[in-house]
Amino acid sequence: MINIRLDYLLVDRRMKLKDLAEATGLAVNNLSVLKTRKARAIRFSTLDSICRALHCTPGDLIEYVPEDQDTRED
């Protein structure tokens, strides 16, 4: 499973979602979808803007978490 770590990065940077929206020019509601892990996709331009504003890499923002085989739905 892919996990978006935006909430952790914002806490680490002591930033609010509104501050990130202002820094990136992205809409707060779009960032909120990422923060709450409800996004199904992310554009490279959005990823670039977030990484620039938070001074991070895509690997800091996105992580792969292997799913336990016992919890997989077939």
- Which residue type occupies 15? M
Distance of CA 31 to the CA centre of its chain: 8
- pLDDT tens, residue by residue, 41-74: 999 999 999 999 999 999 999 999 998 754 445 4
pTM recorded for the entire structure: 0.84
Contact status, residue 50 vs residue 23, Cβ threshold 8 Å: no
Give the start-to-end residue ranges of the domains of the chain: 2-65
Architecture of domain 2-65: Orthogonal Bundle (1.10)
